[in-house]
Structure 1
Amino acid sequence: MLRLSALSRGILIALVGFILIFMYVPLLVLVLNSFNQSNISSWPIQGFSFKWWEFASTYEPIRTALLNSLVVATGSMIIASILGTLVAFALKGFDFFGKGTVNLLVVLPIALPGVVTGVAFSNTYNTFLSPAGFNIGYFGMIVAHATFCIVMVFNNVFARLKRMNPSLQEASADLGAGLWQTFRLVTFPQFRTAFVAGALLAFALSFDEVVVTIFTAPPGVDTLPLWILKEMSRPNQASVVNVVATVVILISLIPVYISQRLSRAQDEVK
């Protein structure tokens, strides 16, 4: 194990502390301003109040946007979980021409700028599908989100499949278990934590996505991030925006935290 001198440890700790402060102080200021009794964000805060939280909890546009975000994120997570797992099994279990290209194409959407993905889907929906009589609407937004969420599930499941012992499935087949029974009792329990972790990350990624949503959301449909973006131009709504942004942070934090715990538990089992 590498041993560091006291000076090196001190510099490393200071560097890590500076990075964490740089990353999270703005978020802390935002959260504190959600309790600011003033109509606008300010610092230092003169007084604290829950009135904006109470207002946000009963404000219908926010509740509708929250429901839209949950529905879109859940739908994207389901699609990404199914397709990401199927692709992971295909690439792990079979050798075929173009396998490396397929792997690249599955991972590529997460690397593309959101504006490129949004414009691509917007053009497809508006200039190709709509004239042909297919009005995808709300479902189109879910599909657009799912394209870049697939990689979250794929990466987790594929990495776990590569570490699995294939002799367990062979033993199950030798004992007379069918394909589905082997998958349910032997295969799935081995990659279950990776599957759930990837699905939760896909949910979090979809929930706070805004750029792709701008281009694919049907008219009049807002998600929470999209609602925040629209309200940022109204200074008198700043405190309510801070409340909604805090909610987005909390909802996004929960699946990421659970995903990390699952991944850590999986590593400890190994």
Structure 2
Amino acid sequence: MHLSRTARVVLGCITAAGLTLVHLPLLLVVLNSVNADRSFAWPPTALTGAWWHRALHSAGARDALWTSVRAGLGATVIALVLGSLAAFAVHRHRFFGRRTVSFLIVLPIALPGIVTGIALNAAFRTVLEPLGIGFGLFTVVVGHATFCVVIVFNNVAARLRRIAPSQAEASADLGARPWQTLRYVTFPALRPAFFAGALLAFALSFDEVVVTTFTAGAGTRTLPLWIYENLARPHQAPVVDVVATLLIALSVLPVYAAQRLSADPAGGRL
């Protein structure tokens, strides 16, 4: 579609304004992490690395980071297994209720986080507590997996739609067994979708707050919860900005990698 010079300028200005609105607050967080003024005076009177030193030596922040990493990895593994199997079942087989199953799998990502958190909290109290399983890392992993499954499911399903069934048929005609076809034909084609789904699922789990609040219990603190609890403490505000800056970096890397992995060689996306 051909656009006039005026239209291109207007669209460029709107795009620049939107990107500035989204990313300028992130830049302020990064600047405040090295701002020597504890009250975040603007412009900064001096720069310092003292807050970074305090954050890196904070036992609470390190423990919360390790908890977030374990929760993210656990949720990602569950999402990879369940999301991939569900994508294969829905998009490679025809059965009664297939559309309903697909809808129910995708539904958790559309529900408000607080609704999901309340529902999981009630379910865990009803089912797990009588069995002696309290709130902790396990319930956080299960809670995160409920919406991380959707990410993997969508990525794998999108890739499956792009794989021609004739490839598997040709493999079978050449004498390959089903497992050989899966290993040498289907899995290589799905590998980028697996990696992209896993990276996005981990990133989504890593910074989840609402569902974690309802499923973590008193003794489990992920990094986002640690940030939320320390944000109101005046002496911890600069340290929180440092941790938030690290979170920005950790979030950008998997999202960028997932975008590259999900790229279509023809120029499109999955």
State whether TM-score is above 0.5. Answer: yes
Match of 2:106 in 1: 107
Match of 1:142 in 2: 141
**TM-score, normalisation: structure 1:** 0.95
1:249-268 pair list within 5 angstroms: 249-268=248-267
For the residues of structure 2 that align with 1:106 and 1:183, how far apart are their CA atoms?
24
Q: 1:69 to 1:81 in 2, by over 3 A?
A: same
Q: Secondary structure at the match of 2:192?
A: helix
Unaligned 5+ runs, structure 2: none
Deviation string 1:156-184 (CA, Å, 9 cap, x unpaired) is 11011011011221222222322222111
Give the deviation of 1:206 after TM superposition: 0.4
| One-letter identity of the residue aligned with 1:33 | N
Match of 2:60 in 1: 61
Q: Secondary structure at the match of 1:17?
A: helix
Q: Secondary structure at the match of 1:31?
A: helix
Match of 2:220 in 1: 221
- Count of residues in Structure 1 that have an aligned counterpart in Structure 2: 269
User: Does residue 159 of structure 1 match 2:158?
Assistant: yes
Between 134-143 and 45-54, report the one with greater CA deviation.
Answer: 134-143
Match of 1:89 in 2: 88
1:81/1:153 contact within 8 Å kept: yes
Match of 1:233 in 2: 232
| One-letter identity of the residue aligned with 1:169 | A
Give the deviation of 1:136 after TM superposition: 6.0
Q: 1:236 to 1:267 in 2, by over 3 A?
A: farther
| One-letter identity of the residue aligned with 1:175 | L
Deviation string 1:83-126 (CA, Å, 9 cap, x unpaired) is 11100000011111111111110110001111111111111112
1:53/1:240 contact within 8 Å kept: yes
2:120/2:215 contact within 8 Å kept: yes
| One-letter identity of the residue aligned with 2:141 | I
Q: 1:257 to 1:144 in 2, by over 3 A?
A: same
User: Does residue 30 of structure 1 match 2:29?
Assistant: yes
For the residues of structure 2 that align with 1:52 and 1:157, how far apart are their CA atoms?
42
Deviation string 1:182-237 (CA, Å, 9 cap, x unpaired) is 11111011111112111111011000000001111132211111001001111221
Seq. identity, %: 51
Unaligned 5+ runs, structure 1: none
1:70-219 pair list within 5 angstroms: 70-135=69-134, 137-219=136-218
**TM-score, normalisation: structure 2:** 0.95
